[in-house]
Amino acid sequence: MKMDQDADPQLRIGFIGAGNMAFGIAKGMLSGNVLPINIKVSAPSSTNQGRFQELGISVTHSNTEVVSGSDLVFVAVKPHLVPLVLSEVSPHVQQKQIIVSVAAGVTLAVLEELLPENSIVIRLMPNLPCVVQEGALLFARGANAKQEDGAVLRSLLRCCGLVVEGPEAWIDIHTGMSGSGVAFVYLFAEALAEGAVKMGMPSALAHSIASQTVLGAGRLLRDSGKHPAQLRSEVCTPGGTTIYGLHTLEQGGVRASVMSAVESATEKARELGRK
């Protein structure tokens, strides 16, 4: 299967859990050739189910119903609920089903232990921009997951954004950098806008321009293929406004703070895995 090949439109996809990650992935997949009729979502309460129904996706309160009727199942519940959920659905898991966990910190070894022997397990870490098809998703295959299984997942997720496969050791780093990093970018965007408000710009306009600035900078960084330092130097003219601003950021230790933030978030993800 080629990396850019469309997903099999007949593939039946299930979600256990109806939170933001499940919604983001489902919405991303629907922008490809996956049909709402082939997706089913389960959650214990009806709180988050309405937005799935608006997309034409059927919902249920039964996890076993989802597993029994799916070829590929996303386990998208809070990490501490994974053992409970998998022990419930384990008797219904079939040999050829692909089980994809998006629970932070839950290792492949733990997942494989909780599921029937020889189960096909993949660990995936997406991030919130999947909702607008601009996510960054990293996955690692378990012992019984073949390259074709990874290709099936990649074909399903390719409309969600950048999809990369790597060793499991990278998953927690990806969680710290990209999963949590989205919030770090929002914090920066907020501060950017507040700086403009301080200097006299109306708040609504400042936030609108700040969001466009972050979006534009991100797209240019991705599409140019240049190193961030190169693009940064291209914006700096000798004695100009940008170098003065960058100097102030360096005095505030922004670079070290961001690196430490990624480190802290990564360590927390690893800690979740040890529990």
3 is a domain residue: no
**Other C-beta atoms within 10 Å of 215: how many?**
12
Question: Do residues 106 and 137 share a domain?
Answer: yes
261 carries a ligand binding annotation: no
76 is a domain residue: yes
- At 145 the pLDDT is 96
The predicted model gives 5-29 an average pLDDT of 87
71 in Cβ contact with 13 (< 8 Å): yes
1 is a domain residue: no
- pLDDT level of residue 274 (50, 70, 90 thresholds): confident
Short-list 85, 79, 25, CA closest to 57: 25
DSSP string of 177-191, one letter each residue: IIITHHHHHHHHHHH
Question: Do residues 203 and 74 share a domain?
Answer: no
pLDDT at residue 9 is higher than 90: no
**Other C-beta atoms within 10 Å of 65: how many?**
16
CATH number of the domain bearing residue 102 = 3.40.50.720
Decide the pairing of beta strands 98-101 and 120-125: parallel
- At 5 the pLDDT is 60
175 is a domain residue: no
H-only helix segments in 126-235: 147-157, 169-174, 181-198, 203-224, 228-235
pLDDT at residue 142 is higher than 90: yes
The predicted model gives 218-236 an average pLDDT of 96
Q: How far apart are CA 93 and CA 97, in angstroms?
A: 7
What b/e string do you get for 138-158 counting C-beta neighbours within 10 Å, with b at 16 or more? bbbbbeebeeebbebbbbbbb
- At 144 the pLDDT is 95
Task: Count up the domains in the chain and report the number.
Answer: 2
148 is a domain residue: yes
Question: Do residues 122 and 188 share a domain?
Answer: no
Query: What are 208's two structure tokens?
Result: 């609108």
Q: Which residue has the higher pLDDT, 20 or 227?
A: 227
Point out the domain boundary residue: 141, 168, 195: 168
pLDDT at residue 99 is higher than 90: yes
247 in Cβ contact with 81 (< 8 Å): no
77 carries a ligand binding annotation: yes
23 is a domain residue: yes
Question: Do residues 40 and 162 share a domain?
Answer: yes
235 carries a ligand binding annotation: no
The predicted model gives 228-244 an average pLDDT of 96
CATH number of the domain bearing residue 193 = 1.10.3730.10
76 carries a ligand binding annotation: yes
- At 1 the pLDDT is 34
142 is a domain residue: yes
pLDDT tens, 31-78?
A: 888 899 999 999 888 888 889 999 999 999 999 999 999 999 999 999
**Burial class for 210, CB neighbours closer than 10 Å (0-12, 13-18, 19+):** buried
- At 6 the pLDDT is 65
Domain carrying residue 146: 13-168
Question: Do residues 56 and 153 share a domain?
Answer: yes
Query: What are 110's two structure tokens?
Result: 């733990």
- At 7 the pLDDT is 65
Point out the domain boundary residue: 137, 168, 199: 168
Question: Do residues 187 and 110 share a domain?
Answer: no
- At 2 the pLDDT is 38
33 is a domain residue: yes
79 carries a ligand binding annotation: yes
131 in Cβ contact with 24 (< 8 Å): yes
Question: Do residues 88 and 118 share a domain?
Answer: yes
Question: Do residues 31 and 87 share a domain?
Answer: yes
Q: Please report, rounded to a whole number, the percentage of residues in the chain having pLDDT higher than 90.
A: 81
Kindly report the pTM of this predicted structure: 0.89
As a whole number of Å, the CA-based R_g of the chain is: 21
Question: Do residues 24 and 72 share a domain?
Answer: yes
Question: Do residues 18 and 150 share a domain?
Answer: yes
H or E stretch including 24? helix 20-30
Range with the lowest mean pLDDT among 94-108, 190-204, 229-243? 94-108
CA distances from 1 to 97, 125, 150, 187 (A): 18, 22, 10, 40
Point out the domain boundary residue: 168, 197, 214: 168
Query: What are 222's two structure tokens?
Result: 């991705």
Question: Do residues 245 and 147 share a domain?
Answer: no
Question: Do residues 120 and 25 share a domain?
Answer: yes
- At 273 the pLDDT is 75
18 carries a ligand binding annotation: yes
